[in-house]
A and B are shown apart, each in its own frame.
Chain A
Amino acid sequence: MPSVAVKPKQEQAKAKKPVLKVEDLHTYFEVRRMGFFKVGDVRALDGVSFELYPGETISIVGESGCGKSTLAKTILGIHRPTKGKIYFDGQDLSTLDKDGWKKYRSNLGYIMQDPYGALPPFMTVKRILEEPMKINGITDKKEHAKRIRQVLEEVKLAPIEDFLPKFPHMLSGGQQQRLVIARAMILEPKMLIADEPVSMLDASVRVEILQLLQGLQRKHNLAIIYITHDLSTVRYFSERIFTMYGAKIIEKSATKALLHEPLHPYTKALFEATSDPDAENLKTFKDVPAGEPPSLMNPPAGCRFHPRCKYIIKGLCDREIPPEFAARSDHSAACWLYKDRA
């Protein structure tokens, strides 16, 4: 069986060391009946591996329940992995003690979907931005003021003096999200995890926030994991795209290669389902698979997409789990259709 798992890398990134390395990561949640008898596991993350380089953005696309947020939360240390390893700057996270975790987390910025829910309603902008510094042992008031000024300038919340005494509810949605980004940036992290950062914002503000993140990335050489269900924003914003389905990464690709030709039938369906603004759409029906994503307690045998897939190879797809086939140097898919192209 030709099972070549070539990791797509960017040319310029090859020489650099990855800031984050994830190896065969599994996160299971136990399901208990009556709070006592274990009846099974929800396999929210089932064998995910990749490397992330400084200055690079990886987009992770997929529908709700595919495990993309579990991946983010496992990397953040909110969930402990059941199996597998995470390395940050070469260090294994499972070996960290309490102080080590604190230091690791200060190197990570987290941007959530709902900015209002992510901001404490009773704190002013100034206090919200001071909090991470206090927790991480930066006590110098002058340093506080300097950093706050710097991040607010970076996220373009100006004039700064007007914003400092404001409470989150006094800001618009876009401003709230910029404050969340400012808070994520205040400890000068090496990496940002943005979980659906623009899905609750209006179209005209979305682009502004994404361009802001891009600007910060260039300036600080940040590594970014951008989690989204919206395929149309990824082309403007990332170097690589991973597609997740049923708790696994099923396609890894450089953005250009994916836009040229998506390989996995599920990614193809996502492409088909995305509507660009075009009056011609009215005249055609979309060719998308019916059905629902699989249960993660009892996932189907073989490829998890096979019950919905129109290219199914009977006897293979419904029996054996497809490995990652590299169809091109920068593009691989976990799908039996590509076993001969590898």
Chain B
Amino acid sequence: MSNNVLLDVRNLKLHFRTRSGPVQAVDGVSFQLREGHTLAVVGESGCGKTSLAKAILRLLPRNVTTFSGSVIFEGQDIMKYDDEKFRREIRWSKIAMVPQASMNSLNPVIRIEDQLMEPLLIHENISKQEAAQRVRDAFAVVGLPVDFLARYPFELSGGMRQRAAIAMALASKPRLVVLDEPSSALDLLTQANLMNVLKKIKHEFKTTFILITHDIGTASELADEIAVMYAGEMIEYASADYFYTDAHHPYSQKLMASVPTLREDKDLAFIPGQPPSLINPPAGCRFAQRCEKRFEKCSEHPRVTSLKNGASVQCWLFDEMGEVKHA
């Protein structure tokens, strides 16, 4: 795997306007993703994971108030592109997305093949035959029999439709694929089979993935890096090796402690309280109210501290490089 940085997100903000005030769904997120790597973005519902994906792909609803920061993709700041240029050059041709519950988003009255060819015919100047070939290749990659292409979506099972949706994203040969909860609506065995397929694609084609999930167990199947989001902020970013053995942020530690495990017995603990409202989040650390390790400094907004092994954490406990100041 190369060490080239494919995606560099800096201080990305996405705020929405609602009747009760502006919602800070994504608030100052920065991270880098290397080519061929998979970043798993984990966090609880409402923490801004999906909004982050939508902000990268610029799939924005109409009530956006703030959309700022920079998204540097292949060395270009794609935030500076106008909407038309972004649509023509980036979305789906270079960055594709498999949205949540996409298996249910296929049009029931159009054959799978025609649906999968559509983005290719729109985005790339190729003939129908070429497009059909590309779609057949993508179908083979996700492990579906090619004759299923002639079927309608209702003739396929849930797992197969999910694979078809992933094939649709892969057919345009994008460099980055954003997967939003790709397996959470599927049964256990189907989910495991799908993770096998994604792993195979990752190994064979060196595709770069952003995997958005609430399931920390499943995330470990694919992730090279883990990013934890809480209340619109990315509070920890670390390599998977590092994160699963030694999470740093108090929230990450608590989150790991709340995940039941099949193979080992551990004392489960839940996190008391609730995440803050994103309409008027606290000025200091957003986790402070629920944190057992809080101290005076936590009323100020924490800085992002870089630790060894390229990890970073947004918490005052680690303000001096990798050193715990107050345990």
Q: Which residues of A contact B (CB under 8 A)?
A: 63-64, 172-174, 202-208, 211, 229-233, 235-236, 259, 269-279, 281-282, 285-286, 288-290, 292
| Cβ-defined contact, A281 with B189, below 8 A | no
Q: Is B2 an interface residue (CB 8 A)?
A: no
Q: Are B220 and A272 within 8 A (Cβ)? A: no
Chain B nearest Cβ from A179, distance in angstroms = 15
Q: Are B244 and A277 in contact (CB under 8 A)?
A: yes
- Contacting pair B270 A208 (CB below 8 A): yes
Question: Is the CB–CB distance between A290 and B254 below 8 Å?
Answer: no
Given known contacts A203-B216, A276-B217, A281-B220, A63 and B196 CB-to-CB distance under 8 angstroms: no
Q: Is the CB of A277 within 8 A of B192?
A: no
Size class of B's contact patch? 35 or more
Tell me, yes or no, whether B305 is within 8 Å of chain A by CB.
Answer: no
What residues of chain B lie closer than 8 Å to A273, measured between beta carbons?
Answer: 188-189, 191-192
Question: Given known contacts A207-B268, A288-B193, is B187 in contact with A276 (CB within 8 Å)?
Answer: no
CA distance A271 to B262 in the complex (A): 8
Interface flag for B139 (CB, 8 Å):
no
Q: How far is the CA of A288 from the CA of B183 in the complex (A)?
A: 15
Contact with B220, one of A64, A203, A282 (Cβ below 8 angstroms): A282
A246 to B196, CA, bound (A): 24
Q: Does B245 contact A (CB under 8 A)?
A: yes
**B29 an interface residue at 8 Å Cβ cutoff?**
no
**Top 5 nearest A-B pairs by Cβ distance?**
A273-B192, A208-B270, A63-B187, A275-B217, A202-B44
- Most A CB contacts (10 A, CB to CB) among B216, B262, B265 go to B262
Residues in A neighbouring B219, C-beta threshold 8 A: 277
In this assembly, does B259 line the interface, its C-beta being within 8 Å of a C-beta of chain A?
yes
Q: Are B196 and A207 in contact (CB under 8 A)?
A: no
In the bound complex, do residue A288 and residue B192 qualify as a contact, i.e. CB atoms below 8 Å apart? Answer: yes
B110 within 8 A of A: no
The answer for the CA separation of A327 and B241 in the assembled complex, in Å, is: 39
B223–A207 CB distance below 8 A: no
A sample of 23 cross-chain residue pairs with beta-carbon separation below 8 angstroms, ordered by A number, consists of A64-B187, A173-B45, A205-B270, A207-B260, A207-B268, A208-B270, A232-B217, A232-B260, A232-B262, A235-B262, A235-B265, A259-B262, A272-B192, A273-B189, A276-B263, A277-B217, A277-B220, A277-B244, A277-B256, A281-B220, A282-B222, A282-B240, A285-B199
User: Apart from A285-B196, A290-B193, what 19 extra A-B contacts exist at CB < 8 Å?
Assistant: A64-B187, A172-B274, A204-B254, A211-B268, A230-B260, A232-B217, A232-B261, A259-B262, A269-B189, A273-B192, A274-B217, A274-B262, A275-B217, A277-B256, A279-B220, A279-B223, A279-B243, A282-B199, A282-B240
Nearest B residue to A203 by beta-carbon distance?
B258
